[in-house]
Amino acid sequence: MSFMDKVLRFFRKKDAVVLPADEKGEVVIEVKDLVMEFKVSKDKIDTLKEYVIRTIKRNKKEKQKIRILDGVSFNVHKGERIGILGFNGAGKSTLLRIIAGIYEPTEGSIKIKGKLAPLLELSAGFDKNYTGKNNVYLNGAFLSMDEEFIKEKYDEIVEFSELGEFINYPVKNYSKGMKSKLGFSIATAVNPDILIIDEILAVGDIKFKQKSSAKLKDMMKSGATVLFVSHALMDILEICNRCIWLENGKIIMDGDTKEVIDAYVERSKKK
Amino acid sequence: MFDTFSEMKFLLKQLVKRDLTSKYKDSVLGILWSFFNPLLIMLVFTAIFSMLFGRTIENYPVYFLSGRLIYDFYNNATKGAMRSIKSNAYILKKIYVPKYMFSISAVCYEFVNFLISFVILFGVMLITGAQFHITSLYAIVPIFFLVILIFGVGLILAVCNTYFSDIGYLYNVFTLILMYASALFYPMEIVPAQVQMIFTLNPVYSAISCFRECVVYGIAPNLNTLAYLAVFAFTVLGVGILLFNIYDKKLSLEI
């Protein structure tokens, strides 16, 4: 660890996360009483002028809050592959985003041990005027890779993306499929301890789809812990060895994949 | 995520590079615009004001440029940092990146532009036959404090701007007043003695006057002014970091 790393750590007061092992083995993610609220209001005050006027007129509307996650707790053990199920609006994606660090939970805590690779939005960091090549570096930086690593992996990324000569063209000329192919290749260049996947197994054309799901399965087999949100029950059944079912921000069921999926399908028929 | 310094450094480098490329992408003259802009403004101001102040100010073009470069740097960098979080909202909503990285990169990007514009200053000094002084090296000190000040102001503005989108308009007015209060194009002597007191409270003017002392007049910077600038800058930076820390986590829900 270099001197600057020590400085960085001092400022962040972040010590190495220590998570106790429980009866099932080493815990890598600990989610405890997670509550997430979003403020919703029909007319949001977003200018200072409005704010001052409303304060003088005493016309500040109460902000409404909606609870997306309501007391979610679970532990993830090393090597577990967890599928997260739920109908639309159940809070699945919000949960993944909190784990990825994008949102800070309103209440509760979350502890993570190990290197995280979130495959949430594959082409979010692209600069459309940049060539594919420059975007590989830019996106690598956004995904917290360092310069040495991305230089080393560059050829591998380009080869996997099947872009060939197009890597030297600006991304704005790419098709949607090409963009997601490149995004996928960059995001999966790492060897993460924890993989977070939000419905992206299906990327590109049929050829690339097979290749990308083969790569993901490879990563999973190499011992990575997986959190996987999908509506494709077959995928979950194939990949996951544990399943969590969320509804209205609460965990309804947590257990063996087959059992949870059966109960989930049963519920969907009733509705 | 972003646990080591080398990851942060690489991200910063990439962000600054992205801004630099997008600035010069579509212009034929490319990076030359960085030179032309201050040069043209200097010519206009010299044409207008050197008649008025030519007798009191020895080398008007150099006097003006030395102030203008510092003010431009302050102006552009604080405004860049102010917008940094909002204009990268689409990334911050989808990938975890420490938000202050965007503010820092906005300031670094303007710092690069500032360094480029030094070429103009030295060029004009050469042409007008101004003397180069070894004390110019001291200029690093006020510039360092200026950068600290800009980081502080930038962090504060970045937070305010995500909550109130009209902060930018107010700040534009503020920087205009600041420009007139920085003695860019007129000599300090024409300002009444009582009002001069107010000028000395302006930290940007402190930076400009220290810079001029080092580069233009060839003397060591006034230590009182320098100390005032340093204290002011670090206080603002402290407030900025504190404010940013408090609101950092709430910002992703606001953008």
A130 contacts B21? CB cut-off 8 A: yes
Query: What is the model's pTM?
Result: 0.88
Residue (of B171, B148, B146) closest to B160 by Cα position: B171
The mean pLDDT of A224-243, rounded to a whole number, is 85
In a domain, A44, yes or no: no
Which residues is A83 bridged to in the sheet?
A: A228, A243
What are the backbone angles phi and psi of residue A99, rounded to the nearest 5°?
-65, -35
Min Cα distance A36 → chain B (Å) is 11
Q: How many domains does chain A have?
A: 2
Residues A87 and A145 in one domain: no
Mean pLDDT (chain A) is 82
- Range with top average pLDDT, A190-204, A250-264, B70-84, B178-192: B70-84
- CB-closest option in A48, A102, A129 to B252: A102
Residues A16 and A132 in one domain: no
Min Cα distance A116 → chain B (Å) is 7
Residue of chain B whose Cα is closest to the Cα of A101? B96
Question: What pLDDT digit, counting tens, does each position of A164-209 carry?
Answer: 888 999 888 888 888 888 888 888 888 888 888 887 666 777 888 8
End-of-domain residue from the set A152, A168, A190? A190
> What SS3 class is residue A24?
coil
Residues A185 and A200 in one domain: no
End-of-domain residue from the set A190, A212, A238? A190
The pLDDT value recorded for residue A42 is 66
Min Cα distance A238 → chain B (Å) is 27
- Burial class of residue A108 (count of CB atoms within 10 Å of its CB; 0-12, 13-18, 19+): middle
Q: Quote ipTM for the complex.
A: 0.83
Residue of chain A whose Cα is closest to the Cα of B96? A102
Residues A106 and A240 in one domain: yes
- CB-closest option in A38, A138, A148 to B14: A138
Strand A250-255 to A242-247 pairing: antiparallel
Query: Beta strands of A177-224 (E only): which ranges?
Result: 194-198
Residues A201 and A260 in one domain: yes
Residue type, A268: S
Residues A209 and A252 in one domain: yes
- CB-closest option in B1, B97, B249 to A104: B249
Tokens of A249: 């921000």
Range B132-149 burial, b when 16+ CB lie within 10 A, else e: ebebeebbebbbebbbbb
Residues A137 and A238 in one domain: no
Query: In CATH, what number is assigned to the domain containing residue A236?
Result: 3.40.50.300
Min Cα distance A224 → chain B (Å) is 16
| Residue written as token pair 């600069």 | A127
Residues A221 and A259 in one domain: yes
Full residue range of the structural domain in which residue A135 is found:
122-190
**CB proximity list for B182: less than 8 A, separation 6 or greater:** B67, B71, B199, B202, B204, B205, B208
Residues A102 and A208 in one domain: yes
**A210 touching B, CB under 8 A?**
no
B15 contacts A46? CB cut-off 8 A: no
The mean pLDDT of A239-257, rounded to a whole number, is 86
Which secondary-structure segment (H or E) carries A39?
A: strand A27-40
**CB proximity list for B27: less than 8 A, separation 6 or greater:** B33
Residues A172 and A148 in one domain: yes
Range B34-67 burial, b when 16+ CB lie within 10 A, else e: beeebbeebeebbeebbeebeeebebbbbbbbbb
In a domain, A48, yes or no: no
Contact residues on chain B for A39, CB-CB shorter than 8 A: 253
> What SS3 class is residue B142?
helix
In a domain, A207, yes or no: yes
**A116 touching B, CB under 8 A?**
yes
Note whether B79 and B110 are within 8 A (CB). no
pLDDT exceeds 90 at position B103: yes
Which secondary-structure segment (H or E) carries A32?
A: strand A27-40
> What SS3 class is residue A254?
strand
CA–CA dist A235, A232 (Å, integer): 6
In a domain, A62, yes or no: no
Contact residues on chain B for A101, CB-CB shorter than 8 A: 1, 96
Residues A127 and A180 in one domain: yes
In a domain, A87, yes or no: yes
The mean pLDDT of B170-191, rounded to a whole number, is 89
CA–CA dist B234, A24 (Å, integer): 51
End-of-domain residue from the set A170, A190, A210? A190
